[in-house]
Every structure is written in C-alpha cells, then in structure tokens.
Amino acid sequence: MSHLLAPAALRARFHVVHETRYSYRSPVTLSQQYLHMTPRTFSHQQVESHGVWLDPLENNGGDSVDYFGNATRKITITTPHRRLTVRAESTVALRQRHDLAGILGSPPWENLRDSVQHGTQAALLDACRYLYASPHVGCSHDLAQYARTSCTRGRPQLEAALHLAQRIFDEFEFDDTATEISTPLEQVLKGRRGVCQDFAQLMIGCLRSIGMPARYVSGYILTHPPAGQARLIGADASHAWVSVFCPALGWVDFDPTNRCLVQHDHITLGWGRDFSDVTPLRGVVLGGGKQQLDVRVTVTPLALDSPALR
C-alpha cells in the first residue's frame, strides 16, 4: 500500500536536523552504534528525503528494519577518535490526523479491553504486542487506579485517553532534573514530576494496567518561540508521546506533555513498547574514558510547495 500523500492532503512540511556529539577524554579505538534516526513513512507522514552523516566516517554499516517496522542503521568505526558526530537530516510531509469530533464517538473503552482478550483479527493481534509490561513500563494496581479516574464505566475509549493525557499535564510538573532513564513509573507517579519520556510511559502504563494497548512514539515536535522572536537553531529536542489502539480508527496519538491530541506539529521517528525500543542512538565504545554528550535538534517549517533545505 502506498503512503504517498496527494498535494491536497498535505497539512505541513518540516526540515529536521538531529545532531548528536560525543566528546571523550581519551581516544576511542572502536565504536559500534545502533541508530533509530530515520523518520517513518506511514498513513499520516511521508519521508521526502533523509540522510545520516558521521565524523569520523564509519568503516562498516548497514540498514535494516526492527521488529516494530522502524528503520535502523548499525555502524562500526575503527578509526581512533576523541569526538563523534552523528547528524541526521530529514524532510517530511504530514497530513491531517483524526480530529476531536472523530474520537469523541469511539466505543466504550471496555469494548477494546474485551476484544483484545478474545479477538483474532490481524490488527488486534498486532495491538497485543503493546498490551503487556515492557522493560520501562510496568503494570500495577496503582497505575490502574490512576487510569480509572479517566476510564469510567461506559466512557468512549478515546475520550477517556484524551482525559488521561490532560490529567497528566494538569497534575504533573515538567522537571528535567527529577528523573533518569531508569526511574520506575511508581516513583514518577508518586513524585508527580518528570519529562516527556516519563509522562508518555506513565500514560502507557496506566492504559495497559486496565487492558488497553498503547505504544510509545519517539519523534520531534515543532516549538513556537515567543511572538516577535526568531526560532533558535538547536533549541528543539527529541520528544515522546503515546499511541492508543482503536479498532474503528486504528492508532490515535496523544501528547500528555502538551495536553493535546496529536495533529500536524509532531514528526514521528518510530514506535515501540517503550523508550528502550526506539532510543535514537545507543551503542558501545572501546576506550574513551569519561564522555560528554550534546544533542541538538532543529525543526524548521517549510512551505507546502517549497523545495527541501540543503
């Protein structure tokens, strides 16, 4: 099935630069890295161009697709180096997603809970991959209790999911010093602080704990500078949100960090069970000692009919 978007269907186009820089105290003699830095092409998004550049250059590399259908790249660098730069540059086109009117008429959330337990359709079986606990998202009584304030009896499934996303925004504080990658969801729930990764995984854990499939989405979001001020290069960052399965509509995305239904300001890199499945860049090095990491992301809006930036 083709995912090419007709001109009339386009709602936004973006140029994205994602640059990761490692600085090492001593030389690295071997670096092996695994990249999830290629945006996905699917029904709501088309990748028009994409490239990855490395300094130093890789000695070996290969492209593949992971278990969840995300494009990946493995690289090996044997040239001794004290700095590693990985620059991914993409141009993507987005189309309109589901609007609020469309999701408010979804069936009761209990229908989905019951159908994934007994359904045999391919879409339901695929959704079951995102129903159970994963390395960074557990299921628990406390998470289920938090979810049930939104998921009341007979409430439309997607209306309940949006309410849950809005509650997380209202009741939690964004704090990039409060958590780490390994911080358990129970601690996030108790402390009511975290970052987009925490809020996405919290929402996923809540939904899975009451029997609703939900997956973690990694990507970027267009940020809006104050009125009258220019956009800053490198001021954006990687982002994370939640995708919820609805048998009638497919996967519908919600952003608890921004209290919204995802529309056309979000650029999707990939999806999986949690952060560990779609880490943009991870690997191992031989040597190096202490290291410093600097990540810069710039998302630039493009006119719908303009050529890609170079």
- The answer to whether residues 197 and 110 belong to one domain is yes
- The answer to whether residues 293 and 198 belong to one domain is no
Distance (Å, rounded) from C-alpha 96 to C-alpha 82? 44
- The answer to whether residue 208 sits within a structural domain is yes
In 3-state terms, what secondary structure has residue 138? coil
Residue type, 229: Q
- The answer to whether residue 310 sits within a structural domain is no
**pLDDT tens digits, one per residue of 176-190:** 999 998 899 999 999
Here the tokens at position 234 are 């490198």
Burial tier of 220 (Cβ tally within 10 Å: 0-12, 13-18, 19+): buried
- The answer to whether residues 110 and 241 belong to one domain is yes
- The answer to whether residues 36 and 148 belong to one domain is no
pLDDT at 169 over 60: yes
pTM of the model: 0.93
Contact 45, 39 (CB under 8 A): yes
Distance (Å, rounded) from C-alpha 244 to C-alpha 120? 19
**Phi, psi of 196, deg, nearest 5:** -55, -40
**pLDDT tens digits, one per residue of 16-70:** 999 999 999 999 999 999 999 999 999 999 999 999 999 999 999 999 999 999 9
- The answer to whether residues 179 and 284 belong to one domain is no
Gyration radius from the chain CA atoms: 20
User: Domain span at residue 243?
Assistant: 100-277
Distance (Å, rounded) from C-alpha 169 to C-alpha 174? 9
- The answer to whether residues 29 and 79 belong to one domain is yes
Distance (Å, rounded) from C-alpha 66 to C-alpha 291? 28
CATH assignment of the domain containing 79: 2.60.40.2250
- The answer to whether residues 59 and 108 belong to one domain is no
Task: Name the pLDDT band for 2 (thresholds 50, 70, 90).
Answer: very low
If you average pLDDT over every residue of the chain, what do you get? Answer: 92
Here the tokens at position 303 are 């006119």
